[in-house]
Amino acid sequence: MCAFPLTEHPYRDAVLAELHARPVELVETNMRVRRLVLAVPTRSGAMRAAIARFEDFAAANGYAVSNEGGRQFQFQTAERLVSWEFHTEFITLTWYSPLTDAENLPGDIGLDALDEAELLGAMRVDMIDEPELPERVFPSFNPTSLCFVAVEFGNAQIAADFVPDDDKFIRFEFAAAKLSPLRRAITLRRILEVETYRTMALLALPLARQTAPALRAVEMELTDVVEDLSGLDTIDAVQERLKKLHDLSVRSGQISEQLNYRFAASYAYGAILKRRLEKLRETTMGQGSSLSSFIGNRVEPALATFEAMDKRLSVLSQKLERAIELLNVRISLDMQIQNKAVLDTIAETAKSQFRLQHAVEGLSTIAITYYLIGILGYALAAPLEATGWNKTLVISILSPLALLMVFFGLRALRRGMSKGK
């Protein structure tokens, strides 16, 4: 036998194993099936820790555990067939036993390994070997929430009222005598999945109700800030509103962080729930409601609530961005106006300094000329007296020349200093 010539993709085995990740367990009639749905902490590594605790439990009790596709583990106790299934964020613990098993929380299925898990849902399916549900099962159901349907093209019947018993289990009665072992097992799995995904789809509803007032408060405060924008007349007021908008943006982001993952998960669970209900192919029996109608009337409004809050968060984020952008533009314009005023002041100051400089230069020319003429008067006094020239006349003639010489001298000095710079 030759070796396979192609290199396998590293995910090939995982993709193939996914086909067998949730095998259908063939069961007999007159069985009682219970399931617990348990949430694990949201921190990183919590699911791996839960799997490790389960493996330690199985090893300590000597159970031969079969691993179906890496996600579902099964083992047999003296009285029960037990199945652990690890999902993305929750665990389902399912066990099969005879109808006479009255122990809702037996000690041999590994409950002690669920230290950190929290109970989300509990259900019990009594599968009886009869073609139709007998009348004796109906008095124990609440008539106002009773669901009674035929499934699998009328070959089986299901009844439930979604009211938990004293041990918090929701009970389903399942008449499956007409079904083949495979169809019975498939229908049983769908019943369990309907209740499982109904619970998970509605998990975001309490969080949505808890968060709605905070979201409304942010929306109202944003409306007040936006309505007040046109009346802002100082840059300090604008900056104060901008700080308020940033605070609202942070609060909006925190709300989104709380809700986004939970809402996305609820949409996914709701879609799975809808498909599982469709696969039951149910018809009503004239007594009570159908599963699709009863569950849909509760789950669909919740999903619509999540969608509405998602849209509100999206609109809120857009409004915050626009308001912040408007205020940033306003601050930019105010800064430009302030800068222009500063530049105008600087230009006016420069002009004043230029005029003052010319005035000082003029005064300096006159002062230097005055002192120069005085020096010339002293210097020429003796020669002029010896030659008999009139001193006043000579000084009068030299004064304009001295003034011109000082003026051009200072000008040449200033040009020389400017070139030196």
DSSP of 129-165:
SSSS--GGGGGGS-GGG-EEEEETTTTEEEEEEEEE-
pLDDT reading at 333 higher than 70: no
Using pLDDT thresholds of 50, 70 and 90, give the confidence band for residue 311.
very high
Q: Which two tokens stand for residue 116?
A: 């950190």
Q: Which residues contact 352 (CB under 8 A, 6 or more apart)?
A: none
The whole-number pLDDT of residue 68 equals 61
pLDDT reading at 69 higher than 60: no
Between 12-26, 97-111, 279-293, the lowest mean confidence (pLDDT) is in 12-26
Using pLDDT thresholds of 50, 70 and 90, give the confidence band for residue 152.
very high
pLDDT reading at 391 higher than 80: no
Crossing angle for the helix pair 181-201 and 235-280, nearest 10 degrees?
160
More confident residue, 380 or 261: 261
Collapse the DSSP code of 122 into the 3-class scheme (helix H, G, I; strand E, B; otherwise coil) and give the result. strand
CB atoms within 10 A of CB 33: 23
> Using CA atoms, how far apart are residues 70 and 56, in angstroms rounded to an integer?
16
The whole-number pLDDT of residue 231 equals 65
How far from 193 is each of 80, 183, 197, 279, 346, CA to CA, in Å? 20, 15, 6, 11, 78
Under a CB-based contact definition with an 8 Å cutoff, are residues 61 and 55 in contact? Answer: no
Collapse the DSSP code of 88 into the 3-class scheme (helix H, G, I; strand E, B; otherwise coil) and give the result. coil
Single out the residue of 152, 179, 177, 149 nearest to residue 161, CA to CA. 149
What is the pLDDT averaged over residues 125-146?
93
Q: Which two tokens stand for residue 257?
A: 């962080």
What share of the chain has pLDDT > 90, as a percent?
46
Residue 232 burial (CB < 10 Å; 0-12/13-18/19+)?
middle
Q: What is the mean pLDDT of the chain?
A: 85
Between 77-86, 89-98, 221-230, the lowest mean confidence (pLDDT) is in 221-230
What share of the chain has pLDDT > 70, as a percent?
86
Using pLDDT thresholds of 50, 70 and 90, give the confidence band for residue 358.
low
The whole-number pLDDT of residue 360 equals 67
What is the pLDDT averaged over residues 146-163?
94
The whole-number pLDDT of residue 232 equals 64
Q: Which two tokens stand for residue 110?
A: 């590994």
What is this structure's pTM? 0.75
The whole-number pLDDT of residue 418 equals 62
What is the pLDDT averaged over residues 222-232?
76
> What counts of helices (H) and strands (E) characterise the chain?
7, 10
Q: Which long-range contacts (CB under 8 A, 24 or more apart) does 39-44 make?
A: 39/89, 39/90, 39/117, 39/118, 39/120, 39/203, 40/89, 40/90, 40/91, 40/116, 40/117, 41/116, 42/89
More confident residue, 197 or 345: 197
Residue extents of the structural domains in the chain:
18-187, 204-339, 342-414
What are the start-end ranges of the H helices in 19-155? 46-61
What is the pLDDT averaged over residues 298-324?
92
Using pLDDT thresholds of 50, 70 and 90, give the confidence band for residue 288.
confident
The whole-number pLDDT of residue 302 equals 95
- Residue type at position 250: V
The whole-number pLDDT of residue 328 equals 74
pLDDT reading at 64 higher than 80: yes
Measured over the CA atoms of residue 335, residue 337, residue 338 and residue 342, the dihedral's sign is positive
Q: Which long-range contacts (CB under 8 A, 24 or more apart) does 84-89 make?
A: 84/54, 84/110, 85/22, 86/47, 86/50, 86/51, 88/47, 89/39, 89/40, 89/42, 89/47, 89/265
The whole-number pLDDT of residue 183 equals 92
The whole-number pLDDT of residue 255 equals 92
The whole-number pLDDT of residue 63 equals 87
How far from 18 is each of 51, 69, 219, 347, CA to CA, in Å? 18, 6, 44, 77
pLDDT reading at 34 higher than 80: yes
pLDDT reading at 189 higher than 90: yes
Using pLDDT thresholds of 50, 70 and 90, give the confidence band for residue 20.
low
More confident residue, 343 or 207: 207
The whole-number pLDDT of residue 22 equals 65
The whole-number pLDDT of residue 403 equals 72
